[in-house]
């Protein structure tokens, strides 16, 4: 994992979709030293994979904004989703244009400085874990915020510290 600059945070997001479109999303926010600032997850009702990925990005940006974070490097393992969000012409006729517009409004707002990136899934293992945790969250409830590393993530955290040297 590449840490963000000292004045920024890194938000990794992911989704989980089980049978019959039971979707959740989640992610983790870490500081420039790679330390956990906040985890989050949410149950989404029935959604397609692409919808869940878009919701993960929107939720990550909203949680970061709510925490007062301004400079954000956001990472997703969905190149298609990143491309949809970064192209001006592609979302106007898209069936998910409303959520795409909401995310683009956050990406290009005056109060957030966001750079969105694609990264392979194995790099965002914390986000994958948090997305799967969303399946344990009550449906249609607000986001679940997790201020400390869950026990299930401790082994990943130890590996991460060895890789990152933090």
Q: Give per-residue pLDDT as tens, 13-45.
A: 999 988 777 889 999 999 988 889 999 999 987
Q: How far apart are CA 4 and CA 97, in angstroms?
A: 30
Q: How far apart are CA 16 and CA 48, in angstroms?
A: 10
Q: What is the pLDDT of residue 19?
A: 74
Domain residue limits, the chain: 9-164
Q: Coil, strand or helix: which one is 156?
A: helix
Q: What is the pLDDT of residue 49?
A: 85
Domain 9-164 has CATH 3.40.47.10: no
In the predicted model, is pLDDT for residue 166 greater than 50?
no
Q: What is the pLDDT of residue 75?
A: 95
Q: Give per-residue pLDDT as tens, 61-72.
A: 999 999 999 999
- Alpha helices, DSSP H only, in the chain? 49-66, 79-86, 97-107, 125-133, 154-164
Strands 71-76 and 9-18, how do they pair? parallel
Nearest to 99 by CA among 50, 66, 147: 50
Which range of 8-12, 140-144, 151-155 scores highest in mean pLDDT? It is 8-12
The string of DSSP codes covering 34-58 is --EEEEEEEEEEE--HHHHHHHHHH
Q: Give per-residue pLDDT as tens, 99-148.
A: 999 999 998 888 899 999 999 988 888 899 999 998 888 766 789 999 99
Query: Residue 103 CB: number of other CB atoms within 10 A?
Result: 25
| pTM of the entire predicted model | 0.89
């Amino acid at each position: 994992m590449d840490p963000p600059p000292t004045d920024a945070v890194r938000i990794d997001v992911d989704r989980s979709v089980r049978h019959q479109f039971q979707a959740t999303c989640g992610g983790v926010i870490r500081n420039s030293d790679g330390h956990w600032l906040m985890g989050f997850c949410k149950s989404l009702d029935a959604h397609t994979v692409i919808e869940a990925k878009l919701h993960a990005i929107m939720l990550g940006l909203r949680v970061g904004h709510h925490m007062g974070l301004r400079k954000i490097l956001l990472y997703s393992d969905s190149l298609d989703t990143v491309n949809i969000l970064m192209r001006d012409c592609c979302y106007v006729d898209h069936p998910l244009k409303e959520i795409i517009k909401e995310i683009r409004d956050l990406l290009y707002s005056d109060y957030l400085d966001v750079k969105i990136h694609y990264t392979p899934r194995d790099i965002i293992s914390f986000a994958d874990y948090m997305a799967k945790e969303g399946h344990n969250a009550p449906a249609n409830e607000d986001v679940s915020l997790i201020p400390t590393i869950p026990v299930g993530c401790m082994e990943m955290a130890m590996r991460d510290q060895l890789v990152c040297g933090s």
